[in-house]
Chains A and B, each alone.
Chain A
Amino acid sequence: MNAATMNVTGEPIREKGEVLLAVQNVSLRFGGVKAISDVSFDIRKGEVRAIIGPNGAGKTSMLNCINGFYQPQEGQITFKGERRHKMKPHRAAAAGIARTFQNVALFKGMSTLDNIMTGRTLKMKRGFFWQALRHGPAMNEEIEHRKVVEDIIDFLQIEHIRKLPVGKLPYGLQKRVELGRALAMEPELLLLDEPMAGMNLEEKEDMCRFILDVNQQFGTTIALIEHDMGVVMDLSDRVVVLEYGRKIADGTPSEVKADQKVIDAYLGVAH
């Protein structure tokens, strides 16, 4: 799907399609605190875009704006060519944006299977009266979506825990279930907020593999907040660097890694 060509420094660039999401001059304030100041960047279809920066830089707030959970006071966000105005979270979901959270936001009272099935809610059309009867069209629809969910469960290799309540699962598996739930929405844009936080090396490698598979097999565009620079370098096509709510760099991983401002603010040098 993506032809690899070399760029100037000898690294392969994956050619990506048109702009899927454009953030223009967005500013967000909470009372007196300015979380984001005049940030602009875009995300192209099919790419993996990393958003990095020190803590408090406004990365999660940025994702929340894209999601519709916060409404930025200034600037605009354009998704799929449509300018969004006061978008509510469930409309963002309907438009094709899904996300995972820094602190796992699973439905603790339900099993893995049910959690992922809630991701299919938007796609399930049968209304109240059919649901009250259950047998018949509602059951058929449920089975149809169950098949899709089982595919996702296979993909993420979580068959063995599908009936367990998620509250009892270890942290790494919870993050995987959360990824499954986001995937169930068949999103065009997937926002991942520190998907590898708190994982050991093996779990991280698994998660990296899943993210890459999602991007390459399903063609999902991914925006990723991550602190592990190794992961960022390996996975992402382009990187945005935020500090204190401002954008200080934007480019390919190697460009950003070499940028002096980024080194000063975040990366540091080996000594």
Chain B
Amino acid sequence: MFYREAGQFKSTYQADMAVFPIRQDRIGLAIILAIAFIGIPMLANDFFITSVMIPFLVFSLAAIGLNILTGYTGLISLGTAAFMGVGAYACYKLTTFFPGVNIIVLILVSGLFSAGIGVLFGLPSLRIKGFYLAVATLAAQFFLQWAFVRVPWLFNYNASGAIEVPQRLLFGIPVTGASAAPETRYFVCLVLVVALTWFASNLVHGKIGRSWMAVRDMDIAAELMGIKLLNAKLLAFAVSSFYAGVAGAMMIFLWYGGGEANDVFTIRLSFNILFMVIIGGLGSLIGSFFGAAFIASLPTIMKFGLPALGVPMSGATAEHVTFMLVGALIIIFLIVEPHGLARLWQIGKQKLRTWPFPY
């Protein structure tokens, strides 16, 4: 009744090609942004912001990166965590060398380092296809994880082997370090994620996104269309690793405030992000958000939500049940709806368009 396209005619190609052609969708997006920018900082408590919202933003960004590589271009990657780590360490070294430079700029620049490493480990994709490529990304994951620990220069020869994030200011307000307020960190994350999502959306809806999807669907035909496979695949690796790198830098600087690579950027994190992308929906930007929201909030729901509802759940059991639940959901989604939550969302909207009529 209220979600109808009737009366919304498009008279230009530009209007037809818009990302959100339906007015109600645009209104919905505006509301979500308003909640994110205004509502949450004002209403939510610190715990919610640091344990749910910031992780959600960081994971969403990493999931978008992986989605570009695996969902849009069809190149499977199990090394996302390692690329995130490259971003984190690059940012750390950059801010050590250039303490005066704006930290946001450095976060973005560290993404470039990640992109470079990503391209390097993406070179085998020219010769190797399908899930064999997973081996190359596994090599990247384990090798980089090893390097993070064995190259003391990366963590400034700190005895504990961990990164400690120094305080950095933005317009005089502490943004990183112990004295940075959760709202400030959340805000910086939010701005970065919104901006980078906009870029990703632009890429994906235009010529480059189509080239990526062509490579995914049938690379032989794509080649015969004039798309250079080499460039398309390496570009996918570069962009995807850039996003992962920025997410990694955000993770250490704006979320954890420090950390040890072996604890943070492990193969488990790579798997988690892959699961976010699968559950959320391969080849869908909004799916990345869904998947990230789901997996990021799962531990919190298990530990606090269920006991609050009266279901007894100890910490260890919660972890085990989380594993089982995630595993089961992966299987269920792959069998029933390989396009994940994003497709369910689309179907829901479809039903909403015709509501209250059945079809």
Contacts and interface: CB of A to CB of B under 8 A. Distances in A.
Do A and B have CB atoms closer than 8 angstroms in the complex?
Answer: yes
A259 interface: no
A246 B226 CA distance: 30
Contacts of A150: 13
Contact of A143 (B13, B202, B211, B223): B13
A70 to B, nearest CB: 12
B14 interface: yes
A7 to B, nearest CB: 36
Contacts of A88: 223
Contacts of A139: 14, 17
B211 A142 contact: no
A107 B214 contact: yes
B203 A118 contact: no
A69 B224 contact: yes
Q: Interface range on chain A: under 10, 10 to 19, 20 to 34, or 35 or more?
A: 35 or more
Contact of A138 (B206, B228, B229): B206
Contact of B220 (A69, A131, A142, A147): A69
A142 B207 contact: yes
Contacts of B211: 118, 121
A126 interface: yes
A94 to B, nearest CB: 6
Nearest to B202: A134
A114 B210 contact: yes
Interface residues of B, number: 30
B227 interface: yes
Q: Pick the most buried of B202, B206, B211: most chain A CB atoms within 10 A of its CB.
A: B206
Interface string A112-141: 001001110110101010011111001100
Given A89-B224, A107-B214, A124 B14 contact: no
A244 interface: no
B159 interface: no
B213 interface: yes
Given A92-B224, A107-B214, A108-B217, A131 B13 contact: no
Nearest to A92: B224
Contacts of B218: 105-108
B316 interface: no
A257 interface: no
Contacts of B336: none
A93 B224 contact: yes
Given A128-B235, A134-B205, A138-B206, A118 B227 contact: yes
Contact of B221 (A107, A117, A128): A107
B284 to A, nearest CB: 11
B224 A124 contact: no
A52 B14 CA distance: 45
A110 B213 contact: yes
A174 to B, nearest CB: 13
Interface in B188-206: 199, 202-203, 205-206
B225 A121 contact: yes
B221 A90 contact: no
A191 to B, nearest CB: 10
A139 B207 CA distance: 10
A122 B210 CA distance: 12
Interface in A187-208: none
B232 to A, nearest CB: 10
A2 to B, nearest CB: 28
A143 to B, nearest CB: 5
Given A89-B220, A119-B225, A121-B211, 18 more contacts: A93-B223, A93-B224, A93-B225, A94-B226, A99-B224, A105-B221, A106-B218, A107-B213, A107-B217, A114-B213, A131-B203, A131-B206, A131-B208, A134-B202, A142-B13, A142-B206, A143-B12, A147-B13
Which 10 residue pairs spanning A and B have beta carbons closest together?
Answer: A134-B202, A93-B226, A122-B226, A107-B217, A105-B221, A89-B223, A89-B224, A146-B13, A143-B13, A131-B206
15 contacts: A89-B223, A90-B224, A90-B226, A90-B229, A93-B223, A98-B224, A107-B218, A110-B210, A110-B214, A110-B217, A114-B210, A134-B202, A139-B17, A146-B13, A146-B17
